[in-house]
Amino acid sequence: MTDAQAFFQRLNHDYLAVHKAKEELFWATYMGTSDDQAGFTAAESAYKDFISDAGRLAATRVHLTAVKGRPASAERDALIHGLHGWLALFEANIIGNEQGRVLMRELIEAEAALFAARKEFKPEHINEAGEREWASLTMLSTNAATNPDEQSRRSSYEAFQAIERWVLENGFLDIVRLRNRFARALGFDNYFEFKLHKNERMSSGQLFAILDDFLERTDAANRRALQALSGKHGSTAWEPWNLRYHSGGDVVRRMDPYMPFGPALRRWIESFRRLGIQYRGATMQLDLLERPGKFQNGFCHGPIPAWFDERGQWVPGQINFTAEAKPDQIGSGLRAITTLFHEGGHAAHFANVTQNSPCFSQEFAPTSMAYAETQSMFCDSLLNDADWLKRYARNAAGEAMPDELIHARIASSQPMRAFDERAIAVVPYFEAALYKLGDADLDAEGVLALARATELRVQGVARAPRPLLAIPHLLNQESAAAYQGYLLAHMAVYQTRAYFLRKDGYLTDNPAIGPALAKHYWGPGNSIDHDATLRGLTGEGFSARHLADACNQSVDEAWAHARTSMIAAAERGEPVNANAQLEATIRVVHGTAVLTDSSAGEAAMCDQFEAWVNKTYFRASA
């Protein structure tokens, strides 16, 4: 067993080296602090070569067979467990022939070139001051949802359209062709089928049986919401630059004083503490602000996965996550705290995987995207809860958000719940159709027409507020053809919420949540599948029913639940674990500049961050 143990240890440490090198260059490149695109491409290739090495797969099988033949012991069983983790990783990523390996290298190079070029493309829109400015994807979405001037909102949508055109004219369709060639080299019909099998161990038939059922369950609610909008706001309500504004933009503006950007960091930390969420000594780096050249979508990646090493010593995670906020833009505080809860949920997950190899604690296959997103989406779902808003959403005078505004938010958002979830579903429907197209049919006009037709079929509008080809996930091979994971995760989120509500009666500041998630969802990592994690906590397998029920609630039903939760929260009083710590070392950065850190405590870090935000974005312009 000595040889197998030495092999297992070598796998663990060799993997850590290539993973850390790739992730550090990923961070620097995507944050716009490094132009070493060639270095990142090389590191990405080295990582891909490691996880798709047929020799390592064969050796893992040989050692696993040998160890299984040894007498039972705790050491033997732990080694078998760890080797099974490596077997799953290699089998999920192996490229079984030379043609596939060549095509993978071509894909990495093509995507790196597209990413580098995309950073130089700078769409513009008209902001609230009536000024034309460069705008990130987050700024475009926020402006289109909250700016009271229709032409300014329209400028944001037109910028989205410009991104779509740019993507189609700058190599994306060649990448689609190349991805399909790669998938066919591995025996799959197309890239969508390949990614679905790799990420979720599902066929397209299985996936769309679930999604079709969800669309059917929510079709009536979606139609009602759109008809109500047009009835209230007229024939232009469905225009893509009007739809989000009319369905909630005014409420977002009214909420803004209660959800400013500066306190978002403090509210995230306090809320997670009170949920009993801890990070087991992880080091976290947060880059929260927009700037040119920075990747325009939040993400969480961990250069050092958490694990117990061969000496049984805990190796805490090193985790980076990012947001793309403009603090002086209306709605930026709400978007920022949503990102903090979402990416902070990912970080909590990966910081709490308590297995004996780093292969169990990383975000790529065999880790299911739906499983990973369940953790982050559960956390950000709490921000929609009335009792959370009542406790944490406060203005500069310390006044809580009034009941009338919470009701107004429910009245504007609840009718759109089905539309919002179907806005996730539209992506896999589009990508499945896109990758079925033959090479000759992959032309810009045809693909644009397919995008608009899919938006109409799934979302019920001729042009969706967020055009499909402006979604950055489509451009990167790790996230391409994987968006369905978000909707599958949301189904699991509402199943999880239903469990805690049945068991404890509340979610906000419930100290039982963190330990329960750590035990059943986070600790096992990818050593068990998503369905097993759900059964471990909730006692039932995967179900879409709870999400559909939430989407189909009336405003009156949702408000009645909200009132009950706020009354119960007031009766419970202050959280019992208000002084808990996150057990993390946190650095807040802006590119290469360190704005603040937790060395003097989390409260001092939050004070320094708020002071920096006020000085940089508000007092300087006053």
Alpha-carbon distance of 289 to 262, in angstroms, equals 11
Query: Is 165 within a domain?
Result: no
Domain end residue (candidates: 33, 62, 94):
94
Crossing angle of helices 332-351 and 369-381, in 10° steps, is: 130
- The CA distances from residue 204 to 110, 370, 572, 589, in Å, are 27, 15, 47, 41
Antiparallel, parallel or unpaired: β 584-590 and 593-597: antiparallel
What are the per-10-residue average pLDDT scores of the chain (622 residues)? Answer: 93 98 96 93 94 94 96 96 97 90 94 91 95 94 94 98 97 98 96 94 93 95 96 96 89 93 95 96 96 88 97 98 89 90 97 98 92 97 97 96 97 95 98 97 97 98 97 92 96 97 97 97 96 95 90 97 97 80 96 97 96 87 44
Backbone angles phi, psi at 286, to 5 degrees: -115, 125
Looking at residue 579, its pLDDT comes to: 67
- The CA distances from residue 77 to 310, 325, 355, 519, in Å, are 14, 47, 13, 20
Alpha-carbon distance of 148 to 324, in angstroms, equals 22
CB proximity list for 306: less than 8 A, separation 6 or greater: 280, 282, 314, 315, 316, 317, 350, 351, 352, 353, 354, 358, 361
Alpha-carbon distance of 201 to 604, in angstroms, equals 46
Total residue length of the chain: 622
Query: Is 238 within a domain?
Result: no
Query: Is 492 within a domain?
Result: yes
Look at the chain and report how many structural domains it folds into: 2
Look-up of token digits 């400028």: 155
Looking at residue 296, its pLDDT comes to: 81
111 token code pair: 């995507």
Four-point Cα dihedral 186, 192, 195, 198, nearest 10: -70
Range of the domain at 3: 1-94
Q: What secondary structure letter does DSSP report for 529?
A: -
Residue 177 CA, distance from chain mean position: 26
Alpha-carbon distance of 308 to 54, in angstroms, equals 26
Looking at residue 495, its pLDDT comes to: 96
Containing H/E element for 164? helix 150-169
Query: Is 199 within a domain?
Result: no
pTM value > 0.75 = yes
375 token code pair: 């953790």
Q: Where are the alpha helices (DSSP H) in 234-351?
A: 243-244, 250-255, 264-274, 332-351
Looking at residue 622, its pLDDT comes to: 43
Query: Is 465 within a domain?
Result: no
Alpha-carbon distance of 198 to 182, in angstroms, equals 14
Counting Cα atoms < 13 Å in the Cβ hemisphere of 499 gives 22
Please answer whether residues 349 and 314 qualify as being in contact, where contact means their C-beta atoms are separated by less than 8 angstroms: no
What CATH code is carried by the domain that includes residue 390? 1.10.1370.40
Domain end residue (candidates: 50, 65, 94):
94
From the list 102, 107, 117, the residue with the least C-alpha distance to 175 is 107
Counting Cα atoms < 13 Å in the Cβ hemisphere of 267 gives 29
Amino acid at 147: N
Looking at residue 335, its pLDDT comes to: 87
540 token code pair: 């039932």
Query: Is 220 within a domain?
Result: no
Four-point Cα dihedral 90, 96, 97, 103, nearest 10: -60
Query: Is 136 within a domain?
Result: no
Q: Provide the edge-to-edge strand list for the sheet that holds 318-325.
A: 299-304, 318-325, 282-289, 584-590, 593-597
Looking at residue 578, its pLDDT comes to: 64
Alpha-carbon distance of 26 to 115, in angstroms, equals 12
Query: Is 182 within a domain?
Result: no
Four-point Cα dihedral 370, 375, 376, 380, nearest 10: 120
DSSP code string of 111-158: HHHHHHHHHH---EEE-TTS-EEE--HHHHHHHHHH-S-HHHHHHHHH
Amino acid at 161: Q
Domain end residue (candidates: 61, 94, 127):
94
Antiparallel, parallel or unpaired: β 307-308 and 132-134: unpaired
Looking at residue 621, its pLDDT comes to: 46
Alpha-carbon distance of 396 to 383, in angstroms, equals 19
From the list 302, 339, 262, 307, the residue with the least C-alpha distance to 81 is 307
